[in-house]
Amino acid sequence: MQRRDFLALLGGTAAWPFAAGAQGGKLLTIGYLSPNSEVADRPRRAAFAQRLAELGWVEGSNVRIEYRWADGIIERAIEIAPELVRLKADIIATSGDAYVIAAKKATATIPIVFASVGDPVGNGLVESLARPGGNATGLSIQLTETVGKRLGLLREVVPTLSRLAILFNAVDKQVDLERDAVQAAARTLGLDVIGSAIRPGEELAPTIELLKGRADALYVCLDPFIISNAARINALALAARLPVIHGIRQNVLADGLISYGPDFPDMSRRAAEMVDKILRGARPADIPVEQPTKFDLIINLKTARSLGLEIPPTLLARADEVIE
């Protein structure tokens, strides 16, 4: 009987027996499934690997990491996840609701640690935040809870805001939660809302160019395809004279205007700590899902100047980082 079949029969009552394997000289395998492109994933990957090393898991010494990138394409993740199972990965580290779902469909026995998902309970990834059950645990970004904060910041930057465009990946249904929350919050503020859907494989330019003159600002829903194409989206939005707000710092480093959201590299470090616990014998079913502890406000003054926007001094004073 295979080890994982045996664990399944036990119904998760036994500890995951990886620590003993590591002590016996076995090189354990971490399957790393990033929803992003290799370039877009660098900050998270570096934070993840660094924290693992700090905890004693050194690549090539007692652990090997099989890196895979989905480039924001869910179908690619659906192909990669079974590949990691065939490689006999001892644990899978990933992010993003749809990508974690792909990993869960590929295996019910290999432990899965997610560095960030929007709604792990609602998507059926865990039974509850306190007691995940099953083979997955990680961190939930509770993205919809910060939607109102982002819209408030956007109004400070664009006081005349009355028409808001929402850019979202129409293929990733997990984005619907954030999009719906933005629509509801915007209407509460008396804003007219324009939905703007994009799809992997289609040219981005026509979608964003259609917003020129029709919207005062653009809210970009967080999604791996968006992250992997942030520089292109920001360039097109700038050409259309649209201020853009994001939920992740690296999209502002790629010439976006402003972002407010969790510190994602920090969440990757915390995911590495969960991986460490499981490799030392803990069960994912018993490790509570955590939430962000750090939220960053990032402002790109270079982009603001290009748009002819004056950032209020009071907002600059509250920023965690100002890009000149």
pLDDT in tens, the chain (324 residues): 343 443 333 333 344 445 444 445 679 999 999 999 999 999 999 999 999 999 999 999 999 999 999 999 999 999 999 999 999 999 999 999 999 999 999 999 999 999 999 889 888 899 999 999 999 999 998 777 889 999 999 999 999 999 999 999 998 887 888 999 999 999 999 999 999 999 998 899 999 999 999 999 999 999 999 999 999 999 999 999 999 999 999 999 999 999 999 999 999 999 999 999 999 999 999 999 999 888 999 999 999 999 999 999 999 999 999 998
**Distance of alpha carbon 118 from alpha carbon 45, whole angstroms:** 19
**Distance of alpha carbon 107 from alpha carbon 84, whole angstroms:** 10
Residue in 11, 221, 229, 15 with CA at minimum distance from that of residue 118: 221
Q: How many residues does the chain have?
A: 324
- How wide is the angle at C-alpha 93 spanned by C-alphas 45 and 40, nearest 5°? 35
Domains of the chain, start order: 3-142+264-294 (3.40.50.2300), 144-262+296-323 (3.40.50.2300)
Characterise 30 by phi-psi region: left (phi > 0), alpha (psi -120 to 50), beta (else): beta
**Distance of alpha carbon 271 from alpha carbon 184, whole angstroms:** 32
